[in-house]
Every structure is written in structure tokens, then in C-alpha cells.
Chains A and B, each alone.
Chain A
């Protein structure tokens, strides 16, 4: 076989192999999937941690990552809004220095007040998940 033909055949086979790999390998997680995975992992982590102070440290660490993800390139509108509602439900929790376990009922109540309507409108699942996150953080 002519050298150029051999080279061509190799390139074609390599190309086919790459296409096959791309088709079978899972697509890289998008921004929202990453966000969701982090929230999910955090929920598990916090539920397993008995010490409220350590729990709050873990929460704050992931919160930073979640904010950074949200601030990344814009994704689908439904995803952006879900992330926004989740993060907004957490806004009643203070910085570490001002956090007090005694004030937990206040944080929970405030989050519910600010995120929930008075007329029983169906709550967005991510707003609810945010309120639940405050409850997990504050569990005594």
C-alpha cells in the first residue's frame, strides 16, 4: 500500500475510534449538574455531621463553590432560576462569626417568610430545597 494511503487509513480509523468513544462516554457534567451534585453531596455530608459548628463550616465552604458555579457562563433559564432561588433561600444565614445555633429558629423562620407566599402558591422545588438546607444546617 502506498504510504499516503496507509496514513489516510490510520487517520480514518483513529477518527472513527474517537467518534465511537465520544458516543459511549458520558457527556461532561454541565454547570447545573455540577451544582446539583454539590448540593446533593452537601446534604449527605451535613446530615452525617453532628457538630453544628463543623456543619456550618462545611456548609460555608460549599456555599462559596455554589456561588462560583452560579456566577459562571449562563446556562438554561430554568437552571439559572433554580440556582438563584436555592441560593436566595440561604441568604438569611449569617457569616461564620455571627452564626449562633441559638438563633437557628430565627434563620429558619426568616427564610420561610421571605421565600414563601401567603396564598399557598406551589413552591418552586429549588426554593423548598434551599429552605430545607437551612433546616439541615440548623438541626440541633
Chain B
């Protein structure tokens, strides 16, 4: 077991967090409100199948909001209470297993969005040092973010590579291309501040901020790579575990 030794300070003010959270919750709340009003409107004549689909979307959207609020609470707790970070106990974790769990949880959402999440993870060197709950939250945020920007009928792909002391988990989407100047700014601020970007509408970047904060809390790091043909890979670097893989 190892312990994180110092509190990570955020560049992100409480006021910004509040504004970003309000902005980020507006769209899902609008979706729920419009789905409910449509379900209650007899003149629309939705089929039984459509009604069930709309109910499922309400459920998925609520879960998405809940994950965001939970991540924000976790991130705020680490930011405010240094002693929690001092006591954060890290352990060897099977990254492949955690990714599989996250993908399993997000598959209904991906399916409703007409997308697929592909896992291309190795069978060996898959142990990292981390905190299970935080790591689940980070990966969930990265995959959820990718699903938000990935076009219909394309895949979000999770891969992993290891070098020296680090293992890198990559989450690749096929979203719109980003201008070089904008990407440079995004990289500098990733995980430190909200990331509202013009090319990715409607997102305050709060989810990525949360993922960045949680990664830092475990001694990890969040980063991004833009692709010439469009889309982006967001990655999290984690410490590799030297423990023999029996997990």
C-alpha cells in the first residue's frame, strides 16, 4: 500500500464550478423535461416501443446527471479536505477489469446513442496503483465524454500501453476536428480548469476537470492527443504496479 503525500490544489474557483455544474446539468434536465412532456402528450401518438425507449432515455439521462454530481462531490471533497488525500490508500488494481465494469455500465447509453464501446486491452501488464472508486469515476468520465462527442455508428475505443513506471489508458473518440490553437490551450488547462471548447458544443468540460482532479489525487495525470482525421484521445497515466498479476 502507498499513500498520497500532499494535497492537490485546484486552479478552479467554487464560483466557476457552480456555473459549470449549472451549465452541464441544463441539457440533461431539458432532455428529461421534454421527454416527459412528450410522453404525457396524447396528441403525439407514440407507440408502445417509443414510450419504452423514452422512459429508458429518462433513466439513462438521470444516471448521467447522478454520475456528474457524484464526481463533483468527490473532487470538491479532495480539494477542501487535505486530510482525506493524506489518508487515501492506493492498491494494485486490474485496469482491464475496471474498464470492463465501466463499459458494461455505459453500454445501454452507448446503444441508445447508436454507438459502441470497444475494449482493446492487453492480457498482461494490466495492474496499476490506484483507488478503485476514483479510477472507476475517472474512466466513466472519459468514456461518457467520448460518447457525448462521438458520432452515431462509430466506436469509442479503449486501449492501454505501458512504458517504464507508467501505464496509459487511452479513450479515443471520432468527434469533430479541433483547431491547433484551441487544442494547445485545452492541453494546458486539462484537469485544472473547465474546458469549454467551441468545436464541442454544449460541454463545459466539467467531467474532464473532475477526472483530472481525481487522477491527480492518485498521483496520475490526464492528457489529450488530437488526431488529424478528427477526433481526440483522452488518456490517463497511472503508476504501474510491480505486484505479480493474480488479480
A and B physically associate: no
Query: Which B residues lie at the A interface, using CB under 8 A?
Result: none
Query: Which A residues lie at the B interface, using CB under 8 A?
Result: none
